[in-house]
Structures are given as structure tokens and as C-alpha cells.
Structure 1
Amino acid sequence: MISLEYTNKDLKNWCDIIENGAKKLGLDFYPQEFEIVDYKDMIGYEAYLGMPSRYPHWSFGKSYDKADSLYKYNISGLPYEMVINSNPCLAYLMKDNTLLLQILTMAHVYGHNDFFKNNRLFKEGTRAAYTIEMFKNHADMVREYVNDPSIGYEEVEKILNAAHAIRFQFNRTIGMGKTEEESKEDIIAFIINHGELEEWQKNILNVVRKESQYFIPQVETKIMNEGWASYWHYKILNYLELPSSLHLEFIKRHNDVIAPLMGTINPYYLGFKMFQDLEKRYGADKIFEVRSIERDESFIRRYLTEDLCSEMNLFEYIKKNDDYVIKEISDDSGWTEIRNTLCNTCGANMIPNIVVDQISKKDGALVLNHLYEGRELNSAYTEATLKHIYDLWKYPVELNTTIDKDKIKVCCREDKKISYTTLR
């Protein structure tokens, strides 16, 4: 029988056992802190992407209301845990979880903690010791502007809306060489340095930019990070030789976490299977090396094999007219295409890459280039984003892109009307 009857002392004892087991198995992690929360708190932390404090913005409230409604109507559940890349590492546990689920979740968190401390994207791209402090300071600063009678919420919201529209438009290759295009200043930094903004507006743009940079390693390593944590909760709990009263639920919960999903990729499943395969083929030292240096794209390109594709029954499908049809299957000729598609659509590759080209001498227009790699921009999002950039730049904004294989210039001018011009 599954029981919810346990005390905080029980959790503390299990946490000590798990931590000792994780150390003996070779994990290297920050000091770990856990907080027990109810479902409303968990929804709140989920809306804030795990942070105890964030600046005020309607998008966070929207995320909270959506998650709350889905949970109340039993359409979706809540995450077993939320864990923050910070030093000490902070994680939240749902108080209504069963004892076994808390044990599994704590073991899972130690896997994330190890990944945060040792993967190069987190080591080079974030400052874990200052995470909580940074987000709190940012929240306090933005609230001061909101409460300032000369600024107010509407003006702050306008800047935040624009910043959110372009927050991931900067170099995303942490610790790696950049192409000539990628070496150019990112859009937010360019507008801060060359635009006509007041100091408080620049400060808000810097807040969004810094927080977005903090989240980039998580975007770039979703499959690896979740796979690593799943691999280690499985390894640790097997190492601990759980009593029979807990073992059956452990197997069920683990299988729930890594279950394949219909029509999409479960990052827990793909990452877990790949790390298992790496250890089987190369040994334990290899998985620690891979954990330290790779990101999702390189991880998949180097270590997703034909045998794994076949074992997981991976296939690629596309929309054709009103139906979906299978494009590739995991056979001798198709598995590399499946691997390449995964590489091209994981991490920051899901986000169009837009870079600054120049300021037009003619009318002060900000000229942007879309680094086209075969996927066209969504027109509605493109037009809305250009209008947001105009709010920041205050002069015309031009975007060079590709539509139906033609070079197209999309312009947003003073009246915020959008025009399209085919370039010859």
C-alpha cells in the first residue's frame, strides 16, 4: 500500500542516506537544500521558473492561472520537484508526495545538482553563488520603477514586453568560437548601447538580458540534464537496495518518468537511454566526461546510434495538407536524418537566430538579419516582434529574411505598419 504517513525527520534521514550514496557513486554537487511546499506554492514557483522572487509581469500570472486551471480540472499534474541552479542548490518537494516519491525526487535532484556544478555551460555561463541574490535584486529594482510615480507599471510593462520578445536573440554558443555574424552585438545589448533610452529603461533591458543568459544553459541541455538526473535517481535507488515495501512503487514511478511519449520526445527517456548506452559501451568515466563538456546538440550528434534509434522506435513525421505522414524511420538510411532533425530542433536551435546588421545612414533604421537555415519565420510573431523592437529603438526597424526562397525585407515604420519588399 502507498502511504503518505512520514515525518520531516524521515525525509531528513532519507536525504542523508541518498547524499552519502550519491557521493560514493561519484557525484560532485553543491550543498543541497530542500523546501516542502503545497501545490499552490509549487504552481507559483513553476510560473517563476523556480525562483523565490521575480520581477512583476503579466506573463507570470498567466502561467500561474494556466497551470492552476489544468491542475484543478485534472488535465495535467504538477512537477514532482523544482530545482534551481544555485549554490547552495535549492529544490522544492510537494508535501502530498508519497514517501517513495520524495526519495526518488531527492535522488533525481542530486543528479541535477551535479550537472549544474560540472557541465561547462553552467560553469562558464552562470554564477551559481549569486543566483538567488541576482533575481531578488532584479525584482526589487523593477518594483521600485513600478512604484515610481514618474514611471509606473504601464511604462515598465511596455519595456518588459519588448524585452521578452527578443530576450533569446543573442549569442548562444557559451564557451565556443563565434562566427562573424554571431560575433556582432546582440539585439538587446545593441539597443542599450546605441539607442535613445532613459537609464531606467536600460536597466530593465539589462535585467531581462542577464536573466535570459542564466536560463540559456538549461535550454541548451534539457535532454542531457533530465537524462542525467533520471539515470542517477535510478542508479542511486538501486544502490540503496530499498525495502520491498518501497521497491515496487520505485519501479512504477521510474517507468512513469521515462515513459516514451506519443508524437514527441520525452527528454527524460532519450537522455536516460543514451547515458545507459554510453556506460555500457565505454564505462563510467565516459559518462562523467560527456556530462561535463557536451550540450544537447553535440550529445545527440555524437552519441545517438542507429541501434538506439531502432530500440526506441524513433521516427520523423511531417504535416502534409491536413494529415501527418511518416517521413523517416529508424532503418539503415533513415536514422541519420532522424538524428540530424533532433539536433536541428533541440535547445536554442528551436529559436530563430536574429542578429544586428547596421544602422541605416538614411533614416536611422535598425537593420537586422535572420540567419536563415531552412525554416521560415512565423509571420504573426515576426510582425509583433518588430513592433516591440520599434518601441525600444524609436526609429524604423528592418529585417532581412527568406520567404518562399525569396530574399525579403520586412519593415516596421513610424505608424507601426508592416511592409514586405522582395529584394533583387
Structure 2
Amino acid sequence: MTDYTLAELAGWNDRIEQLAAEFGLDCYQQQFELCSAEDMLCYEAYTGMPSHYPHWSFGKAYERQKTFYQYNLSGLPYEMVINSDPCLAYLMRDNTLLLQILTMAHVYGHNDFFKNNRLFQRDTRAELTLATFKAQADRVRAYIQDPGIGPDKVERILDAAHALRFQVSRTGLAQAYSRQTLEQERAEAVPPRLQHDLLAFLAAKGRLQDWEQDLVTIVHEESLYFVPQLETKIMNEGWASYWHYRILQQLDLPQGLHLEFLQRHNLVVRPHQQQLNPYFVGFKLFEYLDRSLGRDKIKEIRAGERDHSFLRRYLNEELCREMNLFAYAVEGDNVVVAEVADEDGWQLIRDQLANSVGLGGIPAITPVAVEQGELILAHDYDGRELELGYAKETLKHVAALWGDGVKLRTRLAGKEKLICCNRLQEVIIV
């Protein structure tokens, strides 16, 4: 039983939308959909899309989240918003009136960020999002229903592509290419266009049938859609939190709602134990920058940065101290504090945090050569070693898409090593 009517909710949305415009937020047309807790579980498992191709991993995510929710081990998101034009957001029906007001204001912050940040402008087509995901889902279902293909073969290819889903270009969409370029690339083992995009390389050069190539391409295109969200998590959530706070301060809320607003807001932007809360860090940074640089400058920052550059440029000693940030290291079975935010340590803390956000936390693996049919890969070693269990299993997926042996160059314990996987998917380290 909710404590509001749809008419009341629409009235609050009109006031929020007006304030967002007065603050200068530049948004796509906004659409909200009320949904049940069960619906929210489904949307969360399927990355928020109203239409998505089927795969067992989505069902696994749904069952896991449902179990955690039933036993009060985790909650559900207050809202879920999609980078689309019109911008689509889900509100859980069981939310209180204040929570709906807060999340609607939060959504307008995300909406403005999606429309204006350069990564989203460059790498996504918001007006095509929903239609693209539906078309991809229809193609996957058609392959599943094809008697000559079937669900098992589709699952095998999707499993491999999912294991490599973020081994894509880290500088945006691949450059435009012509039919003549494609003809030239056929004679090149590793074309320049694909040197930093392993998944696209395997789609183009792997020994795949047309339908297999299409499945890998679908996963690749979907990954490129999500890369800007990974690369701007702190900024995006900080921007949305900053604006929901500013908007609700101007709504002249009744006393009861205002008290709940303060409680809810503090829950959203509080620091977390044993992990970084992107809402907390992003909100603190934008709040500080608004005070020190002004509203026009933070809009410029919102438009031009990603998390890595945002932290490198604007996370200073004062903020590191205020947020009690520190760096840690693993020594044997113990985790110890390696640096604290003092005059000497804060820059190391900033740099470690900046290097770990977005795709910085995912090893970069690139194709470098083909030797006697075997694919040679290189790990962009930055001082962090590969986790061997994951590396070995992932290399098997690369071999499945490549259709022959694969060797990966990396460093382990300070020495150059080769992780080799043959066509039988037997893995050794030499």
C-alpha cells in the first residue's frame, strides 16, 4: 500500500522537472515506469533493459539477487535509469512518497549526465538504445530456435564472448572504415583498427560461422554501450546525488518528508566499510568543486571528464583527508595500511584510486601477431599480475573463438611468461 497517488507523483515530477530546467540541466525527455519488487529484480538481472537476449547468467543473477533480497541480505535499487532517448527510468512501487521524489530528482541528474558527457555523446546513440537491444534479442532468439543451431551452440558462443566482454577498445568506438579497408585487412594478421579491441578482432578474424560472428558482434556492441557507464561511475552517481540534494532543498518539503529526505540522502552518500562508495566520493567532489570553482565550471567538468581524469585532476589532499582515504597492501595473510592521506601519501592514494576505476580494474589484453595459426596476445602489464585461475579459463574462451591455439605474454613474479592454450583447451605456463 503506497502513501501517494499517481496524480501526486506526477505533480512532484512536474516541480522537479521545472527546477532541473531552472538549474540549467539539459535532459532528454524523461519517462518513468512504476514497477513491483519482482519486476525490479528482473530489470536488475537484465541490466535494466525492457528487452534483452536470454542467457543463463542473467537467470543466475536474478536468483542470487532474489535470494539475498528475501533473506534481507541486500536491498533493491531505489531506481534504475537507462541511457536512452527518451530516458527511461523505473521506480519501485513500494517506495515511500519521499523516496520516489528523491529518486526522480536523482534520475534527472543521470539524464543530464547521459546527454552531455563526452563519452556518452561519442560512443552511444541514445535514440537507438531500446530498438537496438530489442533487435539483438530477436536475433539471438532466432538462432536458439533454429533447428540447425539450437540453445547449446548459442550458449557456448555467448559464454566465450561474455568472458571477454570488456576486452574492447578503451578509446571509444572503432574508427569508421570502408569496404576497401576491409578488403585490405583480410591480408593483415592484426589490422591496426583491431589492435586494441580483442573481441572485435575475434569476431573479424576468428574461425566463426556467420551466426557465431553475429553473436560475438552483439556482445561487442552491447559492451561498447556499457563502457561509458563503467568509465564514469563515480562522476555519474556523484552528479546525480549532487543534483537530487540541490533540487530537494528547493522543493519546500513538509517537515516529515524533509526529515526522511535527510535520512535517505545520508544513507546514499555515506562511506562504506571495506569498499569505496562511488556516490560518496562523487558527491563530495562535486560539492567541493561547486564551492571552489562555481556552477558553470562543474558543468564543464561533467561534460569533459571520465573517472580517471576526474580523480587525477580534482582529488586533492584536503578531500583525501576529509574522506579518510587510505591505500592498503596484502602481506601474506594480512591486509595492512600502506599509505594514509598525509602530506606525503595522499598523491599515491589518489593515483591508485584513479588507476583502479572503470576499465582500469580490468587487465588489458591485445592481439599482437599470428604465428603458424596460433594467436599471440600480450598483457599490458602495469605492475598488477593476472589472477591465474581466471586467466587460464579466459584463455580457453579465446581459443574457442579463435579456432586454434593461443599464447598470452605476461609477467609473473618479475619474469616474462607465456600462458599457452592449445586447440584442445589444455593450458600450460612456460
TM-score band w.r.t. shorter chain: over 0.9
Alignment of 1:275-424 (within 5 A): 275-360=286-371, 362=372, 364-421=373-430
How big is the shift at 1:184? 1.4
Given that residues 231 and 358 in structure 2 are in contact (C-alpha distance below 8 angstroms), is that contact kept between their aligned partners in structure 1? yes
- CA RMSD across the alignment: 1.5
Aligned residues of 2:13 and 2:101 also touching (Cα < 8 A): yes
**Counterpart position of 1:86:** 84
Q: Which moved more, 1:62-71 or 1:180-189?
A: 180-189
2:7 to 6, 9, 18: 9
CA distance in 2, matches of 1:11, 1:156: 43
Q: Distance in 1 between matches of 2:94 and 2:68?
A: 18
Unpaired runs of at least 5, structure 2: 176-190
Deviation at 1:318? 1.9
Q: Which amino acid aligns with 1:322?
A: D
Q: Which residue of 1 aligns with 2:23?
A: 25
Q: Supply the AA of the counterpart residue of 1:412.
A: C
Aligned equivalents of 2:15, 2:158: Cα separation in 1: 45
In 1: Cα distance, 2:409 partner to 2:315 partner: 35
Offset, 1:4 = 3.5
Bigger mean CA offset, 142-151 vs 3-12: 3-12
TM-score, L = length of structure 1:
0.96
Equivalent residue number for residue 205 of structure 1: 216
Q: Which residue of 2 aligns with 1:243?
A: 254
Residue-by-residue CA offset, 1:165-208 (whole Å, 9 max, x unaligned): 1111122123899xx99961522222222222111011101100
1:220 paired with 2:231, answer: yes
SS at match of 1:226: helix
Q: Deviations over 1:126-154 (max 9, x none)?
A: 00000000100000000000000000000
Deviates more, 1:84-93 or 1:316-325: 316-325
Map of 2:36 onto structure 1: 38
With 241-250 and 35-44 compared, the bigger mean Cα shift is at: 241-250
SS of residue in 2 equivalent to 1:33: strand
Residues 4 and 97, structure 1, Cα contact 8 Å, conserved in 2: yes
CA contact (8 A) 1:146 1:152 kept: yes
What is aligned with 1:62?
A: 60
Q: 1:354 to 1:64 in 2, by over 3 A?
A: same
Structure 2: which amino acid aligns with 1:187? Answer: L
2:305 maps to amino acid:
E
Q: Give, in angstroms, the shift of residue 163 of structure 1.
A: 0.4
SS of structure 2 residue aligned to 1:415: coil
Q: Residue 245 of structure 2 aligns to which amino acid in structure 1?
A: Y
> 2:186 aligns to what?
none
Distance 2:257 2:348 in 1: 42
SS at match of 1:317: strand
Q: Give per-residue Cα distances to partners, 1:109-132, cap 9 Å, x unaligned.
A: 000000000000000010000000
Counterpart Cα distance in 2 of 1:12 and 1:398: 58
Conserved? CA contact 1:181–1:355, under 8 Å: no
Give % identity.
53
- In the TM superposition, what whole-angstrom CA distance separates every residue of 1:249-305 from its partner, at most 9, and x where no partner exists? 000000000011112111000000000111111111110000000000000000001
Tell me the CA shift for residue 243 of structure 1.
1.7
User: Given that residues 112 and 229 in structure 1 are in contact (C-alpha distance below 8 angstroms), is that contact kept between their aligned partners in structure 2?
Assistant: yes
Contact 2:165-2:220 at 8 Å conserved across structures: yes
Q: Tell me, what secondary structure is at the counterpart of 2:242?
A: helix
Structure 1 runs not aligned, ≥5 long: none
One-letter code aligned to 1:19: E
Shift of 1:414: 2.5
Please, which of 138, 156, 159 is the counterpart of residue 157 of structure 2? 159
With normalisation by structure 2, the TM-score equals: 0.94
Q: Does 1:231 align with 2:279?
A: no
Is the CA contact (8 Å cut-off) linking 2:419 and 2:429 kept in structure 1? Answer: yes
Separation of aligned partners in 1, 2:20 and 2:423: 59
Q: Which residue of 1 aligns with 2:181?
A: none
Cα distance in structure 2, aligned partners of 1:5 and 1:134: 37
**Which of 244, 250, 274 is the matching residue for 1:263?**
274
Q: Deviations over 1:371-398 (max 9, x none)?
A: 1001111111111111111111111011
Shift of 1:162: 0.5
1:193 to 182, 201, 204: 204
